[in-house]
Chain A
Amino acid sequence: MHKSSSQRLPPLKRNWWLKHRFFKLYMLREATVLPLVFFTLCLLAGMVALLQGADSWQGWIAFMGSPIVLLLNLLALAASLFHAATFFVLFPRVMPLRIAGHSLPDKAIVAGQWAGVVAVALLFFWLLGRA
């Protein structure tokens, strides 16, 4: 039998994800990248400002302190935490871990990942606190 002998339907319309709550939640998860793009662009601008000199750097500091930028970056933080929450739950399903022949419970893997987040956050607070 030829491989594509069967019928094909036209592909879904672009608004397919509006039909169901589950798909909207999925799109929300995927859309968390948008505020994160803004945050990474901010960081990139900061590096450029650092190279350009003190005036430029002070301008960038002021820019980062403006309410709208703070708000957008808070949104980025919330988005990344939401994405982490969804991702951490998926992780044990994608990579079920086995130690000495016994599979690790899903909850332990999820808790381990959050512990990692807390550890990294504490490390950064400590580093920033010293500076």
Chain B
Amino acid sequence: MSTEQITTKSVSTNNTSIKHISVKRYLPDSSAEAYWQQYEMPVDDSTSLLDALNHIKEQLDSTLSYRWSCRMAICGSCGVMVNGIPKLGCKTFLRDYEGEIRIEPLSHFPVQRDLVVDMEIFLEHLAAVKPYLIDDNPVKPYDPKAPETYQQTPEQLARYKQFANCINCGLCYSACPQFGLNPEFLGPAALTLAHRYNLDSRDHGKKQRMTELNRHEGVWSCTFVGFCSQVCPKHVDPAAAVNQGKVEAAKHTLIALFKG
């Protein structure tokens, strides 16, 4: 007994304990109503929320549904609400939580099953702002035998780099009350990516994007609540990008006014 204890202690350098996780379940095949289900599990200092969900799925309840892939905050799949705050499961550690931990699907998106939400509307908004390089008049026509790469200085890269770190996890949409109030609002990530390409020296698509941005449902629906930037797991600061977009949209309107 005593040897076993010593072995366990020497193996586990972390603080192990038992924690309770409540998950909001929604199984449309069996019930139209969502309900809370509590799970109990051993955790240590290294247990992420995603580890805990995997533990539930593998050891306790195989009916639980949730999305995940990379487990290192780059795929953006495992977003959930943790005690009401949007978080990535893989970047959230249970050691930081005392008492009950409540896990819900991301807010402001229709729930398909358990923690799986329908993100279609976000993808539509994303597609609407054309988040890719648009270059209608390349300097030289493309020659497959001698392809030329775009040239960009580190200073030109620095202008948009922060906004290029978005992983499309959708946490900012769950944090944004304006998107919750009006799902037609293009939302933080889409507007940020539009701004990211507008700032890119290789891009010439600003004019095309401006018509989408400079609408009520574009940048002007944002009231700078700023919670999107608080929850962003990649420190993109979408609130800054959206509001820089307002400055650009205002300039665009003024210029259009003078041009007639």
Contact = CB atoms under 8 A, between A and B. Distances in A.
Report whether chain A binds chain B.
Answer: yes
Interface of A: 1, 3-9, 11-12, 16-17, 19-20, 22-23, 26, 30, 90, 93-96, 101
B121 interface: yes
B182 interface: yes
A26 B124 contact: no
Contacts of A19: 84
A94 B84 contact: no
Given A3-B124, A23-B227, A26-B225, 20 more contacts: A1-B124, A3-B128, A6-B121, A8-B110, A9-B180, A11-B183, A12-B180, A12-B181, A17-B177, A19-B84, A20-B85, A20-B227, A22-B225, A26-B226, A30-B223, A90-B224, A90-B226, A93-B239, A95-B247, A96-B244
A22 B227 contact: yes
Contact of A6 (B120, B181, B182, B239): B120
B130 to A, nearest CB: 14
For the complex of A and B, 9 pairs with smallest distance between CB atoms: A6-B120, A93-B240, A94-B243, A12-B180, A7-B110, A6-B121, A26-B225, A11-B181, A12-B181
B118 A93 contact: no
A94 B227 CA distance: 15
Contacts of B196: none
Contacts, number: 65
**What does DSSP make chain A's interface, helix, strand, loop or mixed?**
loop
Contacts of B181: 11-12, 16
22 contacts: A5-B120, A5-B124, A6-B124, A7-B121, A8-B121, A8-B183, A9-B180, A12-B177, A12-B180, A12-B181, A17-B177, A20-B227, A22-B225, A22-B227, A23-B227, A26-B226, A26-B227, A90-B243, A93-B237, A94-B247, A96-B244, A101-B155
A122 B98 CA distance: 50
B180 A6 contact: no
A26 B118 CA distance: 28
Instruction: Give the one of B108, B118, B240, B247 with max A CB within 10 A.
Output: B240
Nearest to B231: A22
A23 B84 contact: no
A4 B120 CA distance: 10
B168 interface: no
